[in-house]
Amino acid sequence: MNDLSSPQLQIEGVSKVFGSEGTEVVALKDINLSITAGEFVCLLGPSGCGKSTLLNAIAGFSLPTCGRIVANGAEVAVPGPDRAMVFQEYALFPWMTVAANISFGLEIKKIPKAEIVEKVQTLLEKLQLREFSDRFPKDLSGGMRQRVAIARALALDSPILLMDEPFGALDALTRRSLQEELLRIWMEFKKTIVFVTHSIEESIYLADRIVVMTFRPGTIKQVVPIDLSRPRDVASNCFITIQKQLSQMVMEEQMRFQKDEVEHLRA
Amino acid sequence: MTDKKSRLKNGMAIFKRTLHGSIVPVVLLIAWEALTRSGFINPQILPAPSQVLLKWIAYLKPLEPYDPANMSYLAWLFSGELPHDALASIIRVVGGFAIGAGLALPLGLLMGGSARFYQLMNPLVQLLRPIPPIAYIPLAILWFGLGNPPAFFLISLGAFFPVLMNTISGVRTVDEIYIRAARNLGARGATLFLRIILPAATPHILTGLRVGIGVAFIVVIVAEMIAVNNGLGFRILEAREFMWSDKIIAGMITIGLLGLAIDTGMDRINRYLLRWHRGMDQ
Ligand SMILES: Nc1ncnc2c1ncn2[C@@H]1O[C@H](COP(=O)(O)OP(=O)(O)OP(=O)(O)O)[C@@H](O)[C@H]1O
Ligand SMILES: [Mg+2]
């Protein structure tokens, strides 16, 4: 599956229109993007530019109005465990313990019990959750919950990992440590990651390529490759230069977003 | 050491709270006792609390002296009128509730889970729901005669709708995010329903069950006043015919205690089943 010649994830002419005639919102317009195996791609843009819409289309939750998405060699039609998702709101099952949350996807795959136990143990270790294995999500901090969500997604062994602002609700320190952990996991498991964020710094810290999106209609404004070696120094000159350049781009879209809001209020 | 200390402190706090909470009832009881004793109130209309208590004990006590040849000690201990009445009422509540909830739960799950089935059934449900179970009494007697069958019918009817409505809304209001996450993990069909939708709906369902058993308990008293000749409802109506106001009140107190016990039991079950729920700790 990790055939380098063909992309792991291919987005071809994808558009998405919400609402009915008269009140249409063009959330995505003619998106073309090709992501190779093992790549870390960030989708960056202001609120409402269609980042989640694109991610949900890849995940198979809501299909594009036109165009198609090919993931792991098959056209996306339904959600599936070959495109594991980590949500901003954690989306852990509150009635399941940490261990049960992680093993749920494995049970569905009908994996032998002994194997599940072993795998869950490994993931608990890896994400430093061992002491929490019998706790319910309500007893965990935001950072811990997101660790569980990542472990749950990793359990599926899916080649693609989709993440929708997974660290958006966390404080700066927790966020940084989870970013580092994610990079470690990404390198160890050789995942293809599509990571949505509206933090410029986060995207430069993580990504191989940053896809900057425009606001209404949501299109790709520019694709910015980040060639800095890891671990990246957020205070280095190169980092800051890229940050300035991206700020400029995102700001333009942000202004359009604000203008749109104001017009909306006037109307 | 500290454990002992904190336990002592905790005990003191509970003691204080209990003391605080009993002020109003104690004052009321004293006033009531004083008013009836002093002749202000006709004891035929409202007997003194002490008299009610005596009656309650008499009602509770076995009717005959203990005779080992006749029955075991335990059986004798519960051979009084009150234990019999209470047991009869409990059996009716539990039985009727089991029937009503047992029908409402699967129906509610189906209606909540399938939009088409919901559209099919909802108009009928909305039409029948506002009819109080009491209004079915004439029909119940016509259909089932007297005795336990109409009582079970009315009680299950009382439990049915609260359980149904809450189950439907519980299933329908399951947060979309859980369903998405589960589908992303590969869950479909029965697995999705049983392991995600059902547990996510349990807080609502349990609320329905709790309301349902409360209504069942109300209906049992009414049903016993009409269709049967034992049980707590029957007993207080019988006592009225003899103008035994003390016995009426003793019966009412028993009903209150039983209701409290049922509700406490439900609360315990709730707490256990919802131990994962955010609003459930303190
Ligand atoms: N179900 C929907 N029905 C109608 N419009 C929608 C729907 N979902 C999204 N939209 C619209 O599509 C646009 C893109 O939304 P989307 O959620 O993808 O933005 P986003 O980039 O993820 O923003 P944020 O950073 O706030 O999460 C928005 O203008 C939004 O109002
Ligand atoms: Mg979003």
Query: Domain limits of chain A?
Result: 1-73+200-267
The single residue listed with the structure tokens 């099952």 is A93
Please, what is the Cα angle at B273 between B268 and B277, to 5 degrees?
105
Task: State which ligand 1 atom lies nearest to the alpha carbon of A198.
Answer: 25
Tell me which of B185, B195, B273, B281 to substitute to probe the interface with A (most A C-beta atoms closer than 10 Å).
Answer: B185
Q: What pLDDT was estimated at residue B282?
A: 41
Same domain, B31 and B99: no
Each residue of B66-82: pLDDT tens digit? 888 878 888 888 888 99
Evaluate whether residue B106 is within a structural domain.
yes
Q: Does A166 touch chain B (CB under 8 A)?
A: no
> Residue B236 to residues A70, A112, B24: CA-CA distances in angstroms?
74, 61, 27
Q: How confident is the model at residue A1 (pLDDT cuts 50, 70, 90)?
A: very low
Residue A181 has pLDDT above 80, yes or no: yes
Question: Are B36 and B118 part of one and the same domain?
Answer: no
Task: With cut-offs at 50, 70 and 90, classify the pLDDT of residue A70.
Answer: very high
Same domain membership, residue B153 and residue B23: no
Cα-to-centroid distance, A251 and ligand 2 (Å): 18
Query: Is pLDDT above 80 for B218?
Result: yes
How far apart are the C-alpha atoms of B156 and B164, rounded to whole Å? 12
> Which ipTM value was assigned to this complex?
0.90
The range of the structural domain enclosing residue B13 comes to: 2-41
Please tell me whether residue B107 adopts helix, strand or coil conformation: helix
Query: Domain for residue B245, yes or no?
Result: yes
Per CB-CB distance under 8 Å, the chain A contacts of B276 are 94-96, 136-138
Q: What is the pLDDT of residue B40?
A: 87
Q: Are A94 and B199 in contact (CB under 8 A)?
A: no
Residue B102 in contact with partner chain A when CB distance is under 8 A: no
Residue type, B226: I
Taking residues B183-198, report their average pLDDT: 95
Q: Does A28 contact ligand 1 (Cβ within 6 A)?
A: no
Residue A138 to residue B277, Cβ atoms within 8 A: yes
Query: Which band of pLDDT confidence, cut at 50, 70 and 90, is reported for residue B280?
Result: low
Contacts of A79 in chain B (CB under 8 A): 180, 183-184
Indicate if the pLDDT at residue A237 is higher than 90. yes
User: Based on the domain organization, do B110 and B234 belong to the same domain?
Assistant: yes
Q: Is residue A53 in contact with ligand 1, taking CB distance under 6 Å? A: yes
pLDDT tens readout for residues A82-127: 999 999 888 999 999 999 999 999 999 999 999 999 999 999 999 9
* Spatial separation of the C-alpha atoms in residues B173 and B202, rounded to whole Å: 11
B56 within a domain of the structure (yes/no): no
Asked whether residue B170 is assigned to any structural domain, the reply reads yes
- Pick among 1.10.8, 3.30.70, 3.40.50, 2.30.30: CATH of A1-73+200-267: 3.40.50
What pLDDT, on a 0 to 100 scale, did the predictor assign at position A5?
A: 57
A193-202, B32-41, B121-130, B158-167, range with the lowest pLDDT? B32-41
Asked if residue B230 belongs to a domain, the reply is yes
Are residues B176 and B83 both part of a single domain?
yes
pLDDT digits (tens, 9 = 90+) for A50-60: 999 999 999 99
Q: Which CATH number goes with the domain that contains B109? A: 1.10.3720.10
Going by CA atoms, what residue is nearest to atom 31 of ligand 1?
A48
When divided into structural domains, chain B yields a total of: 2
Give distance in angstroms: CA of A55 to centre of ligand 2.
9
| B138 and B31 inside one domain | no
Q: Can you state the angle between helices B198-226 and B148-172, rounded to 10 degrees?
A: 160
Residue A262 has a pLDDT of 82
Joined together, the tokens standing for residue A18 give 């919400």
Residue B61 lies in a domain: no
Same domain, yes or no, for B206 and B263? yes
Same domain, B121 and B11: no
* Side-chain-facing half-sphere of A39: CA atoms under 13 Å: 23
Strands A192-197 and A40-44 turn out to be: parallel
Check CB contact of A79 with chain B, cutoff 8 Å: yes
CB contact under 8 A, A95 and B200: yes
Inter-chain contact A81–B184, Cβ cutoff 8 Å? yes
pLDDT at B240: 92
**Do the Cβ atoms of A109 and B183 come within 8 Å?**
no
Q: pLDDT value at position B9?
A: 86
Residue contact A85–B191, C-beta within 8 A? no
pTM: 0.85
Task: Say yes or no for a CB contact (<8 Å) between B185 and A108.
Answer: yes
| Ligand 1 near A27 CB (within 6 A) | yes
Q: What is the pLDDT of residue A2?
A: 46
B121 & B247 share domain: yes
Whether A9 and A58 have beta carbons less than 8 Å apart is answered as yes
Residue A195 Cα, gap to closest chain B Cα (Å): 16
H-helix segments, B145-244: 148-172, 176-184, 189-192, 198-226, 232-241
**Interface residue B271 vs chain A (CB under 8 A):** no
pLDDT in tens, B224-239: 999 999 999 999 999 9
B187 in any annotated domain: yes
Find the CB nearest B186 among A93, A109, A136.
A109
The answer to whether residue A134 neighbours chain B at the CB level (below 8 Å) is no
Distance A27 CA to ligand 1 centre (A): 7
pLDDT score, position A258: 81
Asked if the Cβ–Cβ distance from A89 to B177 is below 8 Å, we say yes
Do B17 and B139 belong to one domain? no
How many A-B residue pairs are in contact by the CB < 8 A criterion?
A: 64
Same domain as B217, residue B96: yes
Which of A93, A97, A140 best tests the B interface by mutation, with the highest count of B CBs <10 A? A93
Tell if the CB–CB gap between B180 and A83 is shorter than 8 Å: no
Mean pLDDT score across all residues of chain B: 92
Pairing type for strands A66-71 and A9-18 reads antiparallel
Distances (CA, A) of B216 to A97, B25, B101, B211: 35, 28, 10, 9
Q: Which of B191, B200, B275 sits opposite A108 (nearest CB)?
A: B191
Residues B80 and B174 in one domain: yes
Q: What is the 3-state secondary structure (H, E, C) of A142-190?
A: HHHHHHHHHHHHHHCCCCEEEEECCCCCCCHHHHHHHHHHHHHHHHHHC
User: Is B24 a member of any domain?
Assistant: yes
How high is the mean pLDDT of chain A?
92
Q: Do A93 and B178 touch (CB under 8 A)?
A: yes
- Indicate whether A228 pLDDT > 70: yes
| Predicted local distance difference test score (pLDDT) of residue B2 | 61
Percent of chain A with pLDDT over 70: 98
Rounded-to-integer distance, Cα B101 and Cα B116, Å = 22
User: At B137, is the secondary structure helix, strand, or coil?
Assistant: helix
Tell me the shortest Cα–Cα distance from A43 to chain B, in angstroms.
Answer: 20
**Is B1's pLDDT higher than 90?**
no
- pLDDT tens-place string over residues B152-174: 999 999 999 999 999 999 999 99
Out of A85, A96, A136, closest to residue B184 by CB? A85
